Structures are given as C-alpha cells and as structure tokens.
Structure 1
Amino acid sequence: MEKKQEGLRVTWLSVWMNILLGALKCVIGFFSHSAALMADGLHSLVDLSTDVVALFGLKMAAKPWDDNHPYGHHRFASLSSLFIGLALLGFCIGLIISSVHQLVDGDSADPTWPALAAAVLSLAAKEWLYWRTRRIARQEKSRLLLANALHHRTDSLSSALVLIALIAIMIGGPQLAFLDKLVGLILGGWLGLEAGKIILNTCKDLLDTAPDQAVINDIREHILPVPGAVAYHLFRVRRVGDMLDVDLHLQVDGSLTVEEGHEIAHQVRMNILNRHKEVLDVLIHVEPASQHHVRELGVSSLGGA
C-alpha cells in the first residue's frame, strides 16, 4: 500500500509541475515568438492531462472487485495508458502540422534570455521527475507509471532540443531562425514514435497478449519444486493492467485424497504469489498424474515433456 501511495504522490507532484512549467513556457514562448518553446509548453500541458488520467488509472486499479467487475478494476490502468498514448500521438500530429506551416511561411523567432531560462528550468525539472517516476514504476512494476515516466523524458528531451535551437539562433542570428521550427518538426516525429510504442504495448495488454518469455519462465520455476507436484500443462500468463494473471493444470499422484491434492495446489499458488508480487492471482486445476498428461502434454519433474 505504501508503494501505491508513493506512485500517487509522484503523479500529483507531476500535475503541479506541469501546470507551472506549461504556463511559464507558453507565456515566454508567446512573447519571444518561439514556436519551439510554445510547443514545449503545450507539451507540458498535455502531460498535465495524462497525469490526471494516470491518477484515475491508479485509483481505479486499487479498487476491490465488485459484482460488475468480479476480476477487479486492474484493466483501468491499461485503459489509462492507452489514453496517454493517444493524447501524445494527437499532440505530435498537431505539432508536425504547425511546424511545417511555419517553415513554409518563414515565421522567425526572436529568442530572449527568459526563453533560455525557461528551457533550462524545464529540462532540469522534467529530467528529475523522469528518474523519480521511473524508479517508483520499477518498484511497483507499473506499466502505467512507466508510460508516464517516458512522457516526462520526452518533455525533458524536447526542452533540450529547444534550448539548443534557441542558443544557435541567438549566436548565429536570424538566418538560423528556421531551427526553431525544425526542432518542432523533429520533436513531433520522435514523440509520435514513442506514442506508438505506448499504444502498441497497451493494446497487447487489452488483447491478453502473454508477457515476455523471460517473465513466464521465471514464474514456471516455482511449480515443480513444491513437494507432490509431479507435472503441469496448459500454463498461461496474461497481463491484467499492471498485474499478471496465471492459470495452469497441475498433476499430482492419483492416489492422494482431494484434500491432499488441494494442499499441494495451495502450496504451488503461494509459492508463486510470495515470489512474484506482480502476480494478481493463480488459478490451478488439479489432475491425476496419468502418463498421458505427464509425457505428452505437460512439463514433468520426471523428465517428460
């Protein structure tokens, strides 16, 4: 619970930071006629909307199951990540169109020292927020927080590009004014690729795509070491929001009582849950360890597969 609260705290911190930075960059960008700084400010305000979505996803995913959601509310985290990706993609498309128009029209930027200061402040603040959110996301194994952390990284890198463009224009003069719009165009394309990755990964989660094979193999290792677990098959893992759902068919000695077989299955379940905090639940179907199941269908402690 403490980790979940930490995730909420860092997201609320991001909300207030994006309000201040977004307003600052938009105002200074407007008065200095910097399209790149204005775009960077709008990006921060888009981040604000995605922070709100992340807060919603974290709150909903933490709710217990009810009659309408018997498997819990964890997919709200995936749905929120999808919205973040779509919002970022929409911002990128608008930024690309705006930058192309300004390049064609030949609008010039007149950067000032306040514009440089705003870009430096944004770069430092968002990079710090990226590392902090990323650390918490890895601790909680939260793909929603990780998506939001990547959003902070895109903002810090965009501020870095804006800073470089503004410095170049101030040193090189009006002939380099096109760099301001070119940076906006580059940012639009690069951020669009990041948005595509977020959308693709979220769609995989919503379509019950299995996690990476390394994750699956790590979970499988905790089945057969349990005394009495002879073999298993139909082992499946799927993502449910930021969590994992596991089910399998477990074979035990057919001469055991129902109670004894149930106890072995319970030990397998607890073995997985205790070692993998990201696993939400483990559903186990108990079967007798017949030669058909052990040798042809499953993974066995006897050497059959």
Structure 2
Amino acid sequence: MKNENTAIRTIYFSIVASTLLAIIKGLAGFFGNSYALIADAIESTTDIFSSLLVLFGLKYAKRPADDNHPYGHGKIEPLITFLVVGFLLLSAVLIAYNSIQNIQTAHLPPKPWTLLVLGGIIIWKETSFRLVLKKSIETNSSSLKADAWHHRSDAITSVMAFVGITIALLFGDGFETADDWAALFAAGFIVYNSYLIFRPALGEVMDEHLYDDLIEEIRQISIGVEGVLGTEKCFVRKAGTKYHVDLHALVNGDISVSEGHAISHKLKDTLIKKIPNLEHVLIHIEPK
C-alpha cells in the first residue's frame, strides 16, 4: 500500500507540472514565433491526459483481490501504459504534421527570449524525469516509469527546439524553419521512446520471464528456512507493483503431510516478510 500511495503522489506532481509547462510553452511559442515551443506545448498537454490515465490505473490497481480478481487488479498498470504510449504516438503525429506544414510556409524567425524559456524548461523537465523515474523504481510501477519517460521525451524535444531556435537566430534569413525541423526530429524521438516504454509493459502482460535476480533471491531465502532442502521450479509474474510467485520446495520425503504443510506456510511467511513486493506466494512441496 505504501508503494501505491507514493506512486499516486508522484503522479499528482506530474499533472501539476505538465499543466503549468503546457501553458508557459504555448504562450511563449505563440508570442515568440516558435513552432518548436508550440509542439512542446502539445506534448505537455498530452502528458496531462496520460498522467490522468496513470493516476486512474494506480488507484484502480490498489483495489483488493475479490472473487472475480483473485490476484488483485494490478494488471491494469501495463494496460494503462499502452494507453500512455498511444498518447505519446498521437502527440508525435500532431507535432510531425504541423512541423511539415510550417516548413512549407514562410514565417517570422523565433524571438531570442524564447531560448531563456527553453533553458528553464529543459532543466525542470530533466529534474522531473529523474525524480519520477526514481519513484517508479522505488514503487516498482511500470506506468509510473512510462510517465517518467514522458518528462524525458519532453526534455529532449525542448533541447531540439533550443538547437533549432539557436540555428534560426544565428544564421538568419533562410533558416527561419530550423525550429520546425527540430520539432520534426523531436517527433521521431518520441516514437522511438514509445517503443522503449511499450516493450516492457507487453512483457508484463505476457508474463514474460524477466526476473532472474528476484528468483535467485527467492531460492537463497528458501534454503535458509528450516525443513527446506532445496528448490526446483520457480515462476514469477508481475501485476502492478507486486509479484506473484509459484515455488516448488524440496523437503524430506519421510515427514508427514502436516509437517510438510507447516514448512510450506513458514516458507511463504518468510518470503513475504523478507521481500515486501511479493503478494501471492504458492508453495508446492516436493519430496527429496
């Protein structure tokens, strides 16, 4: 529960930050003749909606297990991540389309003061990325990680806009569209970033084998439990911020069923105590 609450507080931070930045970028882009900044504002606007989706997902994932969802509701997290990726791709398409339109249309060069705005935005978004990514690692949340990469992609598009505006200002006539080209390249980066976010979420939905380190930790803890002589199969799958484990434990084949049952409960309790991110642990006793 602590992880979920931390993730939700972090998402509120993202929503407020994206809202403020969308307004600042939009105004600066409009009055500063910079489509790259307007493109940045478009992405920040999609960030708001994607963060709202993540917030919904995190709150839904907190629901306890019930008769229809015996393993809880954590699988909604990667599904929300897919929607977040959809928003990223939508913003990339909008930015690319409008960039091409602006490249083909003569317009005034961007104003120098827009560089100051972009400089502040770059620092803020990179700081936000590092903060949210740190929280995503702490809480083990895939959707929060996706939200963190929204901040990083925003920082990159701002860097590209900064470069484009600088070129337009330095070289003058004939280079007015440099920031539009920068926005177009930024759209390409957003598409690439979308894949990096999508791939691990897909693995989570498909219960892909991705947790070798966790499995090794489970095996090491298990053999330290009295009565456990070793382990065989160990399967791990992730749902939200928690893991579900199926473990085959080896015990003395001559002990009673009751003794084996007691060992399995002791093993389960030990694993959950020492690895807080474990939620469901199913122990199958094997005679050695």
The TM-score bracket by the shorter chain reads over 0.9
After TM superposition, the structure 1 = structure 2 runs for residues 10-159 of structure 1, keeping only pairs within 5 Å, are 10-103=10-103, 105-159=104-158
CA distance in 2 between counterparts of 1:92 and 1:165 reads 17
Cα offset, 1:205, TM superposition: 0.9
Contact 2:34 2:111 in 1 (8 A): no
Residue in structure 1 matched with residue 274 of structure 2 by the alignment: 275
Contact 2:241 2:277 in 1 (8 A): yes
Structure 1 residue ranges without an equivalent (≥5) = 290-305
Residue in structure 2 matched with residue 263 of structure 1 by the alignment: 262
Residue in structure 1 matched with residue 177 of structure 2 by the alignment: 178
CA distance in 1 between counterparts of 2:147 and 2:276 reads 21
* AA at the equivalent of 2:136: A
CA distance in 2 between counterparts of 1:38 and 1:274 reads 50
Cα deviation, 1:40-89, whole Å, max 9, x if unaligned, reads 01111111011101111111111111222221111111111111112112
CA distance in 2 between counterparts of 1:114 and 1:240 reads 47
Change (3 A) 1:271 1:165: same
Contact 1:116 1:167 in 2 (8 A): yes
CA distance in 1 between counterparts of 2:48 and 2:228 reads 50
Cα offset, 1:99, TM superposition: 2.3
Cα deviation, 1:21-40, whole Å, max 9, x if unaligned, reads 10221122123332211110
Residue in structure 1 matched with residue 219 of structure 2 by the alignment: 220
Cα deviation, 1:196-232, whole Å, max 9, x if unaligned, reads 1211211111111122423332332222222211233
DSSP 3-state at the match of 2:248: strand
CA distance in 1 between counterparts of 2:184 and 2:163 reads 14
* AA at the equivalent of 2:74: H
CA distance in 1 between counterparts of 2:245 and 2:3 reads 23
Contact 1:108 1:174 in 2 (8 A): no
Cα deviation, 1:71-123, whole Å, max 9, x if unaligned, reads 111111111111111211222133223323433x1443521244223312321
Residue in structure 1 matched with residue 195 of structure 2 by the alignment: 196
* AA at the equivalent of 2:219: R
Contact 1:211 1:239 in 2 (8 A): no
Residue in structure 1 matched with residue 164 of structure 2 by the alignment: 165
Pairing 1:235–2:234 present: yes
Residue in structure 2 matched with residue 285 of structure 1 by the alignment: 284
Contact 2:112 2:169 in 1 (8 A): no
Greater CA deviation, 32-41 or 42-51? 32-41
* Percent pairwise identity: 28
CA distance in 2 between counterparts of 1:197 and 1:136 reads 18
Cα offset, 1:2, TM superposition: 4.2
Contact 2:219 2:231 in 1 (8 A): no
Residue in structure 2 matched with residue 4 of structure 1 by the alignment: 4
Residue in structure 2 matched with residue 303 of structure 1 by the alignment: none
Cα offset, 1:244, TM superposition: 1.5
CA distance in 1 between counterparts of 2:143 and 2:163 reads 31
Please report the TM-score for the alignment, with normalisation by the length of structure 2: 0.92
DSSP 3-state at the match of 2:228: coil
